[in-house]
C-alpha cells in the first residue's frame, strides 16, 4: 500500500487561511494524507476562522498555531503556500516537496461592520474549500 502523503500548508501567521485549508484538506483527503499547517510567525488560531468552519460542519477548534520550524524533520510531499508573503519568505524551507501556491485574501484584514467582516470570512472560506477539494482530486487520486 502506498504511504500516506504529507502536506504542509504555509501562511504568514498560521491563524486564518492556512487553518481553513488544513481543515478542508483533512476533510477531503481523509486517510490518504497527513495535513499540517504552519506560519513563518504564529498569531494563534483566529476565532472567526473556527466559527466559519463550524458553520460548514468542520471543527478546527482544536487546531494550534505552529511555526514552520517545528516541521523541519517531516518529509513533505506537497507544500502549499496560501499567501504571497509566505511564498516569498519561505524559499529556505528544505524540501523535495512539490510546491503549490495560491494567494488568498486575508480575511483577518477585513474591515467594516460585523456582517461585512463575516461576509469576507465566508467568501475566503468558500474559495479555500474549492481549492482544497480540487487539490485533493487532482493530486491524491
State the catalytic residues: 11, 83, 90
DSSP 5-73: EEEEEEESSSSSHHHHHHHHHHHHHGGGEEEEEEESS-----HHHHHHHHHTT---TT----BGGGGTT
Length of the chain: 141
71, 97 Cβ separation under 8 angstroms: no
Separation of alpha carbons 138 and 115, rounded Å: 35
CA triplet 90, 43, 126: central angle to 5 degrees?
80
Amino acid at each position: 500500500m502506498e504511504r500516506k502523503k504529507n502536506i504542509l500548508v504555509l501562511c504568514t501567521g498560521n491563524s486564518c487561511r492556512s487553518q481553513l485549508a488544513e481543515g478542508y484538506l483533512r476533510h477531503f483527503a481523509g486517510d490518504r494524507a497527513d495535513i499540517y499547517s504552519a506560519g513563518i510567525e504564529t498569531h494563534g488560531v483566529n476565532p472567526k476562522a473556527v466559527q466559519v468552519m463550524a458553520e460548514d460542519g468542520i471543527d478546527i477548534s482544536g487546531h494550534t498555531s505552529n511555526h514552520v520550524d517545528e516541521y523541519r524533520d517531516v518529509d513533505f510531499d506537497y507544500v502549499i503556500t496560501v499567501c504571497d508573503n509566505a511564498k516569498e519568505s519561505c524559499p529556505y524551507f528544505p524540501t523535495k516537496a512539490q510546491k503549490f501556491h495560491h494567494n488568498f485574501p486575508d480575511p483577518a484584514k477585513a474591515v467594516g461592520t460585523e456582517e461585512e467582516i463575516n461576509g469576507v470570512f465566508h467568501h475566503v472560506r468558500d474559495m479555500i474549500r474549492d481549492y482544497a477539494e480540487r487539490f485533493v482530486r487532482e493530486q491524491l487520486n
